[in-house]
Amino acid sequence: MSALNIQENYPMRKHLSFRCGGNARFFAEIESIDELIFARNFSLDKNIPLFILGQGTNILISDLGYNGLIIKLGKSFNSFELSDNGTQMIAKAKAGVILGSLSRKVSKEGYAGLQMLAGIPGTIGGAVYMNAGAYGQEIADTLIEVKTLTEKGELKTYSNKECSFAYRSSIFQKNKEIILEASFKLPKSERNILESEIENAMKSRREKQPLDKPNAGSAFKRPKEGFPGAFIEQAGLKGFKIGDAQVSEKHANFIVNLGNATAKEIAELFKYVEQKVYERFQIKLEREVIFLGDF
């Protein structure tokens, strides 16, 4: 369709950790800011939404597909620069960098601040967008600034404060700007301690999370009243199934695909869990997984 190679009716399930769902009306892999601007203008011309896909680890696309343009950041967005003065490190990472890769690299160099996030499977862009966190550590804790592309095609820089970070939330969920790069200030620490913390975090994930089945990470955000997994389990829903979609028997705040679940079955299970937890505890669970398309 263009030099950008925008593909139509593109199958998305191989890009999503749930391993199900329909096609994107349009799809393209981006290698430059110019291509990103072209893609944004394309979506505006077509009057369709634009969605930036990272690793696809917290996304569910309808079986009916997504009537928009999904773009995936290519290899040119998968690099980072490290500079240290012996007491602290500045890490500048482009949006397509895998969070776990950056975390392990800086920890190996003896700098703290990202080590507890090593097991999160998403990209830097997605992690900033969601203010990803684990085991008491969040992206916002060490972030200095974020560079974005605005809707007008202009480059913009946000300070940490300007990002309006909150629990699993940031300004980027509202302003429709595209995250290009993030910078972090990381304090010096002991390499062996950091590597031990990473190993303990990974061990905890292996023991407590259903990593052997397709899923999209934590299904629901933590409400102020407590932990969603506990409420779901107390509502008697652990192991509950709709088709091949199941509330994990290992951790109730995970919904897994047992093999042939449809996006519709997974979405119905999300809604059923929300309904039953509200009926039992009058607590409204909020999805952490992003739904795209019509369900």
> In the chain, where are the structural domains located?
7-76, 78-208, 228-292
| pLDDT at site 183 | 98
Helices (H), the chain: 33-46, 99-108, 124-130, 172-175, 191-208, 228-234, 263-281
Fold of 7-76: 3.30.43
What are the structure tokens assigned to 24, written together? Answer: 């994107």
Q: What is the pLDDT of residue 85?
A: 87
52-71: per-residue pLDDT in tens?
Answer: 999 999 999 999 999 999 99
pLDDT of 151 reads: 86
The candidate with the shortest Cα–Cα distance to 182, out of 201, 163, 204, is: 163
Q: What pTM value is reported for the model? A: 0.92
CATH code assigned to 228-292: 3.90.78.10
CA atoms within 13 A on the CB side of 161: 0
CA 145 to chain centre: 19
* Per-residue pLDDT at 3: 66
Dihedral angle, C-alpha 149, 152, 158, 162, nearest 10 °: -130
What pLDDT, on a 0 to 100 scale, did the predictor assign at position 225? Answer: 93
The residues that are catalytic are 168, 218, 288
Q: Give the residues of the chain that fall short of pLDDT 70.
A: 1-3
Amino acid at 286: E
pLDDT of residue 72: 95
**The CATH classification of domain 78-208, taken from the options 3.30.200.20, 3.40.50.1370, 3.30.465.10, 1.10.3720.10:** 3.30.465.10
